[in-house]
Amino acid sequence: MDGNGRWANKRLLPRIAGHRKGVEAVRATVRAAIEHGVEYLTLFAFSSENWRRPADEVTLLMELFARALEQEVAKLHANGIRFRAIGDTSRFDKRIRDLVAEGEAKTAGNTRLTLTIAANYGGRWDVAQAARACFRAHPEALADGAAFEPEALEPWLAMAYAPEPDLFIRTGGEQRISNFLLWQLAYTELYFTDLLWPDFDEAALAAAIESFATRERRFGRTGEQVHGTAA
């Protein structure tokens, strides 16, 4: 979700006004995702690199996150949405950590849509924490010469509860992944739009899904194999 600051700048508003408007875009996108039958929606809200921003912006973002958790979790629950958070939440203050834990517990049984918020998340952090947890559980896997398949890490990744994403959407015009779900995006279709996040809405999601529908996903195979026309 990129472009909140530029959205505000264009209107001569403080950056936080863009972040506030961004929360509205989140609401609209969650609604639209449900209408499209999306089962997993993962939003990159705050990266492990965002701490480098000016302290007052970080403070306001935390306040906004806490308030959104306080106000939205009951609504998510009423709509059958399971809420999850991924990332190193140990760096957040207790109020946010408690709200996240309460929200996850309250909505754990819901099945309509799993809404994951990536907060203080980084793809490299995820792979590193998975490796640490895996080797703690299986110290023998570190033995010299022991075979180690990539799949062995997967149960330990932050999003082990979800399938790999089909579609990645980045708003705001930049064409990079910025340390989002690095491992899980290996075969994901990438979609970039110049729309700024606060302008993202139902029509924008529909356009992204339409683009996705035209992609041929071969997972390393040939087009002939995929179409069943291989000799």
Residue number with CB closer to Mg ion (2 or 126): 2
- Other beta carbons less than 10 A from residue 84's beta carbon: 20
Q: At what angle do helices 94-107 and 55-78 cross, to 10 degrees?
A: 20
Q: Which of ligand IPE, Mg ion, none is residue 122 near (CB under 5 to 8 Å by kind)?
A: none
Residue 223 exposed, middle or buried by CB count within 10 Å (0-12, 13-18, 19+): exposed
Binding piece for ligand IPE, criterion CB under 6 A, among 4-12, 73-81, 183-191, 210-218: 4-12
At 170, the amino acid letter reads R
The string of DSSP letters for 124-174 reads HHHHHHHHHHHHHH-GGGGSTT----GGGGGGGSTTTTSPPPSEEEE-SS-
- DSSP letter at 53 equals S
Within the chain, what is the greatest distance between any pair of CA atoms? 63
> By rule CB under 6 A, what string of x and - marks binding of each residue 30-59 to ligand IPE?
----------------x---x---------
Candidate list 4, 9, 50, 194, residue with the active-site label: 50
199 near ligand IPE (CB under 6 A):
no
For the chain, strand residue ranges (E) read 40-47, 81-86, 113-121, 167-170, 189-192
Contact between 110 and ligand IPE (CB under 6 A)? no
What does the block give as tokens for 195? 């729309």
Q: Which is nearer to ligand IPE, 51 or 187 (CB)?
A: 51
* Of the residues 3, 87, 122, 123, which one makes contact with ligand IPE according to CB under 6 A: 3
- Tell me which of Mg ion, ligand IPE, none is bound by residue 205, counting a contact when its beta carbon lies within the kind-specific cut-off of 5 to 8 angstroms: none
Q: Indicate if 199 belongs to the active site.
A: no
Please identify, using beta-carbon distances, which residue of 2 and 72 lies nearer to ligand IPE. 2
Size of the site for ligand IPE (CB under 6 A): 11
Q: Are 21 and 68 in contact (CB under 8 A)?
A: no
Binds 123, which of Mg ion, ligand IPE, none (CB < 5 to 8 A, cut-off by type)? Answer: none
| Stretch of 3-11, 92-100, 102-110, 137-145 contacting ligand IPE, by CB under 6 A | 3-11
120 given a catalytic annotation: no
Q: Does 2 bind Mg ion (CB under 5 A)?
A: yes
Q: How far is CA 69 from the centre of its chain?
A: 16
Residues in the site for ligand IPE, rule: CB under 6 A? 1-6, 46, 50, 61, 172, 197
Instruction: Give me the residues that bind Mg ion (CB under 5 A), please.
Output: 2
